A = this chain, B = another copy of it.
Amino acid sequence: MPGQLKVAVIGLGSMGSGIASSLLRAGHPVTGGSAFATPAEAVDDADVTIVVALNDAQTEAVLFGPDGAVGAMRPGGVVISSATMPPASARSFAARAAQSGIHYLDAPISGGSVKAEAGKLTVMASGSPEAFRAVRPVLNAIAETVYELGEEAGIGAAFKIVNQLLAGVHIAAACEAITFAVELGLDINRVFEVITKSAGNSRMFENRVPHVLDGDYSPRSAISIFTKDLGIVTELGRMEHFPLPSASSALQLFIMAEATGMGGDDDASVARLFADIAGVHLPKGT
């Protein structure tokens, strides 16, 4: 298709390849992945660079490191930065990109690799109206929902942090509750059915408890994502002098699960941590 934006997707893993697939399906020329030695080579001639990184340090290396992406982009190009990071990092990256004439969209994503592949991510983004306008077709190709949250970088990052705080606490609580239900001798399939219609429900309970019921801990989203994200959340709380006891308690549970060797497993593995500690039996996968 003529006039389609050329997009570089920089970042390994299933999120990056899912995003690339969605863009190709929408007709955008895509570069990226292991075919290129450096970010600069991958972004050569691209209109838009999507950085799918774990955190701000990785994002910084991709954008501003040796052979980084920003130096290789033509002026007027747009960076879409998807990592969860402190708002201050996003603001700093936007300012540095602007010095090279590059727009920066602070655009954390949520939804996991299945939704990335389907082009149905949720994007919580902030940045200039020009940047949004320029990348609209790209966002439409990768996301089902795009929240435009403000004109300054850092706002998208802050929304994502609030979301991850809640999601992390809810996963930990779901795992604590469903394993306690086993301890109490309850039929946990029935518990799932009742709680999902009751005051105790959460999006994460609804989404993660089926992994426990199926005994399937293959990583849809890994424990290590939440040790990372709740680490960012609680560190930001400390810097802001704001206590976050619920987030801190949940973080410790993910760290415990990671410490026992489950860091690469599905984040519902916090239930296995409780089961191991309390000596109760959860369903086994087939």
Q: Give A residues with C-beta under 8 Å from B.
A: 87, 110-111, 122, 124, 145, 147, 149, 155, 158-159, 161-167, 169-170, 172-174, 176-181, 183-186, 190-191, 194-195, 197-205, 207, 236-237, 240-250, 252-253, 274, 277-278, 280
User: Contact partner of A158 among B122, B149, B167, B181, CB < 8 A?
Assistant: B181
Q: Is A200's CB under 8 angstroms from B240's CB?
A: no
Q: Is B245's CB under 8 angstroms from A249's CB?
A: yes
Given A149-B194, A163-B200, A198-B122, A183:B242 Cβ within 8 A: yes
Tell me, in angstroms, the Cα distance from A248 to B253 when the chains sit together: 13
Least distance between A67 CB and chain B CB atoms (Å): 34
Query: Which of A111, A202, A237, A280 has the most chain B CB within a 10 Å cutoff?
Result: A202
User: Contact partner of A163 among B122, B124, B166, B195, CB < 8 A?
Assistant: B195
Which chain B residues lie closer than 8 Å to A200 at the CB level? 162-167, 170, 203-204
Q: Is B166's CB under 8 angstroms from A177's CB?
A: yes
Tell me, in angstroms, the Cα distance from A172 to B183 when the chains sit together: 24
Tell me, in angstroms, the Cα distance from A243 to B280 when the chains sit together: 12
Which chain B residues lie closer than 8 Å to A242 at the CB level? 179-180, 183, 274, 278, 280
A-B CB contact pairs (8 Å), 12 listed: A122-B199, A124-B198, A162-B180, A162-B200, A165-B173, A166-B201, A169-B170, A170-B200, A199-B207, A243-B277, A243-B278, A245-B253
Q: Is B167's CB under 8 angstroms from A199's CB?
A: yes
Further contacts, 10 of them, CB under 8 A, given A158-B185, A180-B240, A202-B203: A158-B186, A162-B181, A163-B195, A163-B199, A164-B200, A166-B205, A167-B200, A176-B245, A176-B247, A199-B207
Q: Is A176's CB under 8 angstroms from B244's CB?
A: yes
> Which residue of chain B has the shortest Cβ distance to A163 in the bound complex?
B200
Least distance between A65 CB and chain B CB atoms (Å): 28
Tell me, in angstroms, the Cα distance from A155 to B159 when the chains sit together: 40
Which chain B residues lie closer than 8 Å to A149 at the CB level? 190, 194
Q: Is B183's CB under 8 angstroms from A162's CB?
A: no
Least distance between A91 CB and chain B CB atoms (Å): 12
Tell me, in angstroms, the Cα distance from A204 to B199 when the chains sit together: 6
Tell me, in angstroms, the Cα distance from A133 to B159 when the chains sit together: 50
Rank and list the top 4 A-B pairs by shortest CB-CB distance, nearest first.
A166-B200, A202-B202, A163-B200, A249-B249
Tell me, in angstroms, the Cα distance from A174 to B199 when the chains sit together: 13
